[in-house]
Structure 1
Amino acid sequence: MSDPVQENPECLDLTNSHLPNLDTVTLNANLKLLDLTANRLETVDLRILALEGLQTINFRQNLLTDVSCWSSCSSKGVLEDMEFRDNQLTEIPSLSGFTSLRRIEFSYNQIRSIASLSELQGTSGLEELYVASNKVTEMVGISHFTQLRVLELGSNRIRKIENLEGLVNLEQLWLGSNRITHIEGLLSLTKLRKMSVQSNRLDHISGLENCCALEELYLSHNGILKIEGLATLSQLNILDLSNNRICKVEGLESQAILEDLWLNHNLIPSLDGIEEGLSPVLGALTTIYLEENPAVKDKASYKAKMKEVVPKLKQLDADNV
C-alpha cells in the first residue's frame, strides 16, 4: 500500500529518497507540506520558492550551505513550520515578512549568530525555536517572541543568559553545554516548567527565585558546591545535580513533591545525616542516585540504609528496588 501522505496532493514526503536534486520531482502548486528529510540537496529548488501556500517545509539532513534565497519565498505569509536542521549553514537567512511562523529549527549547523531573528518583528506567534549545536555566542534577537514556549540553544558558545525579559510565556529553556557561569535574567519567566543548564560553568545555584512553576531542573556537570537557591521552587518533580562538588544533602525544604533526585558523582562523604537532609522530600521521593560518592562504599549497607530512609523508594541508582 502506498504511503497515504503521497496520496494527498497538498503533501509531498520525500524522506530518505537520497536525491541530489529535485529535477525528476513534480511539485504541485497547491503543496502545503513538503518534507525533504535525509536527501543530498545542496541548493534550494527555485520551484519551492514559488509555492504560495506552503505551510510546512523540512530540509533536515541535507547538504545546504547557503539558504539566503529563502528570504524571497512566496509563502512568507502562511509558512508555519520551517526546519533546516543538520545541514552546513553558517547563517540564518533574513526572515523579514514571515508573519505566520510557529516553529523554527536550525540546530546542528555552523551558525555563529541568531541576531537576524530580530527581523521577525511581526511574528509574535512564534512558539518554538531550536538553534542547538551551533557556534552561537550571544542570546540576541529573541526578546520580542512573547508567545515563545520552547527555546533550545544548547551546545553553543553562550556565556550569559540574557534578553529573555519579553518571553513571559516560555515553558522550556534548554542551555546545556555552553559557557554560562551564572543563572540570571529569568525574572519574567514565571511560567517556566523545564530548564537545563547542564555542562556549563556554574559553581552555585541562584537566580531562579521567580521561576516558581519549575517542575524539572537539570544542573549536572557543573562545579556546584551546595544545594541552595531552591526555596521558591515548590513544584519541582525532578532535580538533577549529578556530577558536581556537593558535600551535603540539604536545602530541599520546599521540595515536598520531588520524586527524582540525582546526586551521583558528587563529594558526599558519608550517609550520616542523610535522613535529615532528605526529610522534606520523603513523602514523594521514589528515585535517588547517589553512586560514585565517597559515602557509597559498602554497596550492601548503602542499599539497606536507603531502603530504610526512603519509604517510597522504587529506584536506587540504576537498580529497581
Structure 2
Amino acid sequence: MADVLDLTNSHLRDLSTVEISPTLTALDLTANRLQTLDPRVVALTGLRALNLRQNIIADAAGVNECCCKGALEDLELRDNLLTEIPTLEGFSQLTRLEFSYNQIRSLAPLSSLTADPAASPPLLELFVAANKVTAIEALGGLSKLTVLELGSNRIRTIEGLGSQACLLELWLGRNRISKIENLGHMTALRRISLQSNRLESMCGIAACSSLVELYLSHNGIWSLDQQLTQLKALRVLDVSNNRISKVEHLQGLSQLEDLWLNDNQMPSLDGIEEALKDQVDSLTTIYLEHNPAAAALDYKQRLLALLPKLQQLDANVLPEREQI
C-alpha cells in the first residue's frame, strides 16, 4: 500500500536515500539508527501512525513540530535515549502513546496533551515502563485511559489516578510501592500488576471488585487477605514468592482458574480441601512447588484427587488425568 511505509531493521542513520510520499498515513522506522526526525516526516499532514522504536533519539522535541497533529493516532518512541517526554500540545487524535525503555524521569510533560481541553486526545493506552519515573502525575485530563503501563520505574505511591475510572489494566510491577491505595473508583479494572514491589499486605485490593487477573508475586505479603472473597470475577491469582503460610480466604471465588502460590512458606497441605472447595470445578492450573508442603509423598495424588479439572500442576502439564 503506497500510504504505508515499513523500514523496519533497514540500518538507516538518516532517511536521505528514502523517498517519503506526502500521502503517507503510516510510517514504521523500528530498529534503525536515527537520531532526529527527517523534515519530510515532520511535514506529513495525514500521518496516523509513527513508529520510532529502537533508534537512538535523545531529544524528541521535534515531534511537536509535526504537521499531523490533527491526524496522528499512534506514536511510539519505545527504546530510545529520551530523558524527557516531548511536548504534545495539539495532538488531538492520539489513542496510543509508547515511551517505554528510555531514561524519562517525569510524566509532567503529558499535561501538554490537555493544555487545550477542546483539543484533548481520546488517549486509550499509555506505556512508560522501564524508565526512572518517581511519581504518577499529569494524567488528570486523560479520563479515557483503559491501559496504563508504568512498570519498572521508581514509583512509591499509587496516586494521581483520580480521573482514571475507565482503566481496565494497570501495570505497576517493579516499583517501590508499599501500600495498595487510591483505587476505590476503579470499578472497571480487570487486570492489575503490583509484582516486585514492597507490599506486606493485600489490604485495599477489595476496591477493585471487577478484577479478573491479580498479580502480586515477589513481595513480602504474609497472608491471603479476607478482602479476596470480594473479588468474585477473579480468574488468575498470582501470589508466588511471598511469605504466605496458609491457603485461605478463597471462598466464593468460583471462577478462579489459575492459582500461583509457589515459593511461599506453607508447611503442609492440611486444610487444602476446605480452602479450595469453591474451586473444585474451576481450577485448571495450580503452583505450590518450593513450599515445604510440596515435599509430601502424597502431594501430587492429593491435588489431582481434589481438583478434577486440573491441567497443570506446578511446571508439569498433565496431558491426561491419571486414574485416581
The normalised TM-score by structure 1 is 0.95
In structure 1, distance between residues paired with 2:161 and 2:199:
19
Residue in 1 that maps onto 2:252: 254
Residue matched to 1:58: 51
Residues 165/234 of structure 1: CA separation in 2 closer, same or farther (3 Å cut): same
158, 163, 168: which one pairs with 1:166?
A: 163
- The corresponding residue for 1:4 is none
Counterparts of residues 214-253 of structure 1 (less than 5 Å): 214-228=211-225, 229-253=227-251
* Number of corresponding residues: 313
Instruction: Name the residue aligned to 2:262.
Output: 264
Contact (CA 8 Å) 1:165, 1:187: kept in 2 or not?
Answer: no
Match for residue 118 of structure 1 among 95, 111, 117:
111
Q: What is the CA deviation profile of residues 239-275 of structure 1, one whole-angstrom value per residue up to 9, with x for unaligned ones? A: 0000000000001113111011000000001111111
Task: Give the alignment partner of residue 71 of structure 2, picking from 73, 78, 91.
Answer: 78
Distance 1:264 1:123 in 2: 45
**AA matched with 2:284:** T
Note the C-alpha offset of 1:310: 1.7
RMSD over aligned Cα atoms: 1.0
Q: Within 5 Å, which residues of 2 pair with 1:114-193? A: 114-121=107-114, 122-193=119-190
Equivalence for 1:37: 30
Amino acid at match of 2:128: V
Counterparts of residues 16-27 of structure 1 (less than 5 Å): 16-27=9-20
1:280 shift after superposition: 2.3
Q: Supply the AA of the counterpart residue of 1:102.
A: T
Give matches, 1:256-295, under 5 Å: 256-295=254-293
Alpha-carbon contact 2:69-2:92 (below 8 Å) kept: yes
Question: TM-score, normalization: structure 2?
Answer: 0.95
Displacement after TM superposition at 1:22 (Å): 0.4
- Pick the aligned partner of 2:193 from 180, 191, 196: 196
More deviation in 207-216 or 236-245? 207-216
Deviates more, 1:274-283 or 1:146-155: 274-283
Residue 210 of structure 1 deviates from its aligned partner by 2.7
Q: Which residue number in structure 1 is paired with residue 322 of structure 2?
A: none
More deviation, 161-170/53-62: 161-170
CA distance in 2, matches of 1:42, 1:320: 47
Q: Which amino acid aligns with 2:286?
A: I
Query: Which amino acid in structure 1 is aligned with residue 86 of structure 2?
Result: P
Indicate the SS of the match to 1:295.
Answer: helix
Unaligned runs of 5+ in 1: 1-7
User: Identity over aligned residues, as a percent?
Assistant: 54
Counterpart of 2:61 in structure 1 is: 68
Question: Which segments of 5 or more consecutive residues in structure 2 lack a partner in the other structure?
Answer: 319-324
Cα deviation code 1:50-92 (max 9, x no counterpart):
1111110000000110011111111111110000000010000
1:231 counterpart SS class: helix
The alpha-carbon deviation at position 163 of structure 1 amounts to 1.3
